[in-house]
Structure 1
Amino acid sequence: MAGMSHAGMTGMAMPAAKPGSPVAAFQHGMDSVMVVMDEGMRRMDGASPADIDASFAAMMVPHHQGAVDMARLQLLYGKDPALRRLAQSIIAEQQVEIQQMQAWLKQHPAKP
């Protein structure tokens, strides 16, 4: 859904944030994360679509990186202590899983 804002993905229109405000910066950051994540999942870093395991790992890496990037935006702009703790947990856990999937992909190179 490239080109669609994160607000559009929920089916709900979000009111325009005041330019230069933290809300506008957060919304812009989330939109950017979604574009990068979507492109990475579509590209699959060379994994063959016929290889289910490689496809899974190759698509999950940018998906998890998107979660890490979203959590970082929460830490930058969010205020709720419980959500900040959750964001920190997401960052730690997802980074470990990204490393595991990248290691698996290295051990199982794409076949020509």
Structure 2
Amino acid sequence: MTSTARTILRNYVSAAALLFVLAAPGLARAQGAEKEYKASMEKMDAAMMKGMDPDPTKAWAKMMVAHHQGAIDMSKTVLKETKDPMIRQMAEKGIKEQSEEQKMLEEWISKH
């Protein structure tokens, strides 16, 4: 390998290393969010399956409680990660509304 080729290769390797160092925090954050989203969905799916009931109305109510919790958990994750004002507003609104609906459904479930 010539001296020029070694210099070019060293420059490419240095540039790639620099890009990795600069990108690593964002990648770690994205991977952390992905893990949280997956955990939220798995928790939601398991809870929805537990909500199965011979009465289709009760089953729907129980599964919706779990579904709403999944939405709340995912909204909390995005709030930790995003600075986008529209997404933040939607996530905050979703948490509030989904929590209120959960309470209504849980109250209904307790009476039936």
Give the shorter-chain TM-score range.
0.7 to 0.9
Find the aligned partners of 2:95 and 2:84 in 1 and give their Cα distance.
17
Segments of 5+ residues of structure 1 without an aligned counterpart are 1-17
Higher helix share: 2
Q: Does 1:71 align with 2:75?
A: yes
TM-score after normalising by structure 2: 0.74
Identity score, percent? 33
Q: Which runs of 4+ in 1 moved over 2 A?
A: none
Matched with 1:37 is 44
Aligned residues: 89
Considering only aligned residues, what root-mean-square deviation do their CA atoms show, in Å?
Answer: 1.8
SS of aligned partner of 2:46: helix
* Equivalent position amino acid for 1:33 in 2: S
Within the candidate set 72, 84, 87, 1:80 is matched to 84
Segments of 5+ residues of structure 2 without an aligned counterpart are 1-23
TM-score after normalising by structure 1: 0.74
> Is the radius of gyration larger for structure 1 or structure 2?
2
Matched with 2:15 is none
1:78, CA displacement in angstroms?
A: 1.2
